[in-house]
């Protein structure tokens, strides 16, 4: 496995399965009264967040702390970045502090890749612009595998033959890009369902199918992943109105009945309830949204553990 995790494309099928299986092992620890492991004691993990984040930042922090690493949270607001300090100077400061791993979220696509050239430690991409968010794809794959195969049958398995439909604002979504790459590496068939204006031009070269008609995709889906309409990244009108968007690409209770009985509904958060997903869908038993957040901690523990080469995990009794 690479020293850094910048793109889901960095992961082979074996790497991905190793991360998911390690996360399964760590998940059994999360059920114990004492959740902490000594594996990364003495290591320093820096969370470097230039963009707002709730779930991802807290989740990386919880993951590092459960492995006993020292955690430094650095947010661009209130730091010298607000005074115009460059990413490179910030990186050199972190380097001087002896960071073993830097978890970076940045508004510019390619920022994590750049950082990896400037620091000696491991770099984990926690979202760079509209480019990639590989740990989100890993936690999504983990969630799909657990829900559709069951916890007992999950270990060692890929997602072979499973059908995943990713819906909505693909153009601005680093989550979609990382998921297409990772889920296809794991053997799933991915289809993007979106209006043509919200699909990237290069989508023809991605390992997935494309559809403009959500209703015809739903009956064939084992998992449907709704994406947030990312209004803050939109520089033009990509659809006539929010109402029109919801009517064609939003998942409401009526549309959800088109899914097979076993199918799950996912969303990476934050949700626009009533736009891409109706409240009754988000809160329904098919929804994995809360599980995705919980799984995020275990999957990020597995990533940090494997990339930083932590001490061996204690034997876990099931
Ligand atoms: C996503 C992100 O920031 O890329 N959220 C997340 O990490 N859970 C998706 C989004 O912002 O819509």
Angstrom distances, CA of residue 231 to CA of 17, 236, 272: 34, 10, 10
Ligand 1, residues 8, 126, 133, 225: which to mutate, most atoms within 8 A of Cβ? 133
* Residue 113 in domain: yes
**Is residue 128 located within the same domain as residue 138?**
no
Decide: 228 in ligand 1 pocket, CB within 6 A. yes
178 ligand 1 Cβ < 6 A: no
For residues 150 and 192, membership in a common domain is answered with yes
Token representation of residue 248: 């064609």
CA of 228 to the centre of ligand 1 (A): 8
What's the pLDDT score for residue 86? 85
Per the domain annotation, does 205 fall within a domain? yes
Dist CA 301 CA 205 (whole Å): 32
Instruction: Find out whether the beta carbon of 268 lies less than 6 Å from any atom of ligand 1.
Output: yes
Within a domain: 2: no
Cβ of 185 below 6 Å from ligand 1? no
| Mean pLDDT computed over every residue of the chain | 93
pLDDT of residue 236: 76
Q: Is 220 a catalytic residue?
A: no
Contact 222, 262 (CB under 8 A): yes
Judge if 168 and 278 occupy the same domain.
Answer: yes
Residues 75 and 145 in one domain: no
Number of domains in the chain: 2
Sheet holding 189-193, edge to edge: 209-211, 189-193, 163-167, 223-226, 264-266
- State the angle between helix axes of 174-185 and 13-30 in degrees (0 to 180), rounded to the nearest 10: 100
Residues 248/249/255/260 CA torsion (nearest 10 deg): 130
Same-domain check for residues 168 and 283: yes
Looking at residue 158, its pLDDT comes to 98
Same domain, 266 and 208: yes
Taking CA atoms only, the protein residue closest to ligand 1 atom 11 is 270
The confidence score (pLDDT) of residue 82 equals 67
247 shares a domain with 141: yes
Q: Are residues 108 and 205 in the same domain?
A: no
- Residue 273 backbone dihedrals phi, psi, to 5 degrees: -60, 135
Q: Do 152 and 280 fall into the same domain?
A: yes
Per-residue pLDDT of the chain (318 residues; tens, 9 = 90+): 789 999 999 999 999 999 999 999 999 877 788 889 999 999 999 999 999 888 999 999 999 999 999 999 988 776 777 676 788 888 888 888 889 999 999 999 999 999 999 999 999 999 999 999 999 999 999 999 999 999 999 999 999 999 999 999 999 999 999 999 999 999 999 999 999 999 999 999 999 999 999 999 999 999 999 999 998 888 778 888 999 999 999 999 999 999 999 999 999 999 999 999 999 999 999 999 999 999 999 999 999 999 998 766 665 443
Host domain of residue 243: 134-288
Question: Does the residue 197 lie in any domain?
Answer: yes
Same structural domain, 138 and 281: yes
| CATH code, domain with 71 | 3.40.50.1370
- 55 and 189 both lie in a single domain: no
* pLDDT of the residue at 317: 41
Identify the pLDDT of residue 54: 86
Element (H, E) at 214: helix 214-217
On whether the CB atoms of residues 308 and 40 are closer than 8 A, the answer is: yes
Instruction: Give domain status of residue 222, yes or no.
Output: yes
Residues 6+ apart with CB under 8 A from 225: 140, 164, 165, 166, 167, 176, 179, 266, 267, 268
Residue 3 lies in a domain: no
Residue 53 lies in a domain: yes
The reply to whether 1 falls in a domain is no
| Shared domain check, 87 and 143 | no
């Amino acid at each position: 496995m690479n020293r850094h995790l910048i793109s889901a494309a960095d992961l082979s099928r074996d790497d991905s399965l190793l991360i998911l299986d390690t996360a399964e092992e760590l998940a059994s620890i999360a059920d114990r009264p004492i959740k902490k492991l000594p594996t990364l004691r003495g290591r320093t993990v820096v969370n470097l967040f230039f963009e707002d984040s709730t779930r991802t930042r807290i989740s990386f922090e919880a993951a590092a702390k459960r492995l006993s690493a020292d955690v430094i949270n650095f947010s661009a607001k209130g730091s010298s970045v607000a005074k115009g300090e460059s990413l490179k100077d910030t990186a050199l400061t972190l380097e001087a502090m002896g960071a073993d791993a830097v978890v970076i979220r940045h508004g510019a696509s390619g920022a994590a890749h750049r950082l990896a050239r400037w620091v000696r430690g491991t770099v984990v991409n926690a979202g760079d612009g509209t480019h990639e968010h590989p740990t989100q794809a890993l936690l999504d794959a983990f969630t799909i595998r657990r829900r559709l195969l069951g916890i007992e049958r999950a270990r060692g398995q890929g997602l072979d033959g499973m059908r995943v439909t990713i819906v909505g604002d693909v153009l601005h979504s680093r989550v979609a890009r990382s998921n297409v790459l990772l889920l296809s590496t794991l053997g799933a068939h991915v289809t993007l369902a979106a209006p043509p204006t919200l699909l990237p031009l290069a989508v023809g070269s991605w390992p997935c199918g494309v559809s403009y008609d959500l209703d015809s995709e739903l009956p064939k889906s084992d998992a449907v992943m709704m994406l947030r309409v990312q209004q803050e990244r939109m520089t033009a009108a990509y659809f006539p109105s929010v109402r029109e968007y919801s009517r064609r690409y939003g998942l409401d209770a009526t549309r959800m009945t088109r899914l097979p009985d076993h199918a799950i509904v996912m969303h990476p958060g934050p949700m626009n309830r009533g736009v891409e997903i109706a409240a009754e869908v988000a809160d329904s038993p098919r929804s994995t949204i809360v599980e995705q957040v919980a799984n995020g901690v275990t999957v990020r523990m597995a990533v940090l553990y494997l990339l930083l080469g932590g001490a061996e995990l204690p034997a876990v009794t099931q």
